[in-house]
């Protein structure tokens, strides 16, 4: 999985549309191999990002869990600690 795509389900506060759009953009970049598409591919690239964002939003809204929502700040601190352990301070 692309390292820049983060888990978006079951967070407090809930995911924003901007976060879903950013994840969709990273996904399309990864599978297409384009960081920025050429002019002939631009429309298809942006259409794919929009469609994946819509589908992702629908998925996130339909998921259910009994687990308590995760705190964004706590999860970010854990990720930072894992990175420091892995790559050094």
Range of the domain at 36: 11-87
Q: State the pLDDT confidence band at 1, using cuts at 50, 70 and 90.
A: very low
Per residue in 35-84, pLDDT (tens digit) is: 999 999 999 999 999 999 999 999 999 999 999 999 988 888 988 898 89
Does 4 fall in a domain? no
Does 41 fall in a domain? yes
The span from the CA of 65 to the CA of 67, in Å, is 5
Per residue in 5-38, pLDDT (tens digit) is: 788 999 988 999 999 999 999 999 999 999 999 9
The span from the CA of 83 to the CA of 77, in Å, is 10
Does 2 fall in a domain? no
- Tally of domains within the chain: 1
Residue whose tokens read 């990273």: 26
């Amino acid at each position: 999985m692309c390292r820049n795509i983060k888990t978006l389900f079951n967070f407090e506060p809930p995911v924003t549309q901007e976060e879903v759009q950013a994840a969709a953009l990273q996904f399309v970049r990864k599978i297409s191999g384009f960081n920025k598409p050429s002019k002939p591919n631009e429309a298809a690239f942006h259409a794919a990002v929009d469609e994946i964002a819509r589908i992702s939003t629908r998925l996130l809204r339909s998921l259910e869990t009994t687990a308590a929502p995760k705190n964004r700040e706590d999860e970010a601190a854990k990720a930072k600690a894992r990175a420091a352990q892995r790559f050094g301070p």
